[in-house]
Amino acid sequence: MATQEEVFDKIRTALIDALGVDEDEVTPEATLVGDLGAESIDFLDIVFRLEKAFKINIPRGELFPEDILTNSEYIQDGKMTEPGVAELRKRMPFADLTDFAENPVVQDFGNLLTVADMCRFVESKLQNAG
């Protein structure tokens, strides 16, 4: 079982390679979109690198639940509805949605995910696998 430090190191390497960022930019607090400049297609690249590095399987939509974010049932006037936010919490237990839930503008969601969230996500995958 990989330690937290090992998980972070591998994630940092994946992000450096996928996003062309410098090592010191990849901090636990850094957001993938806002701070590290990830675009939507980068998530596919990142997922491939994580799967390869950790020998895990990440089904589409698990790390970034685009299906919820584009589901009209969960969106009203550009904001997630309460059931939508509840669904996000269920699907993303690794992410801190507190701030987002206060003003759940869908457009802002992309800037929510941090490196620390990604570490928690991988750790939970490794625990379930182990």
Positions touching other proteins (CB under 8 A) are: 17-18, 20, 41-42, 44-45, 47-49, 51-52, 60
Q: How far is the CB of 17 from other proteins (least distance, A)?
A: 7
Q: How far is the CB of 43 from other proteins (least distance, A)?
A: 10
CA 58 to chain centroid, in Å, comes to: 11
Give whichever of 35 and 51 is closer to other proteins, judged by the CB atom: 51
Within a 10 A sphere around the Cβ of 81, how many other Cβ atoms? 15
Q: How far is the CB of 101 from other proteins (least distance, A)?
A: 27
CA–CA dist 123, 117 (Å, integer)? 10
CA atoms within 13 A on the CB side of 101: 13
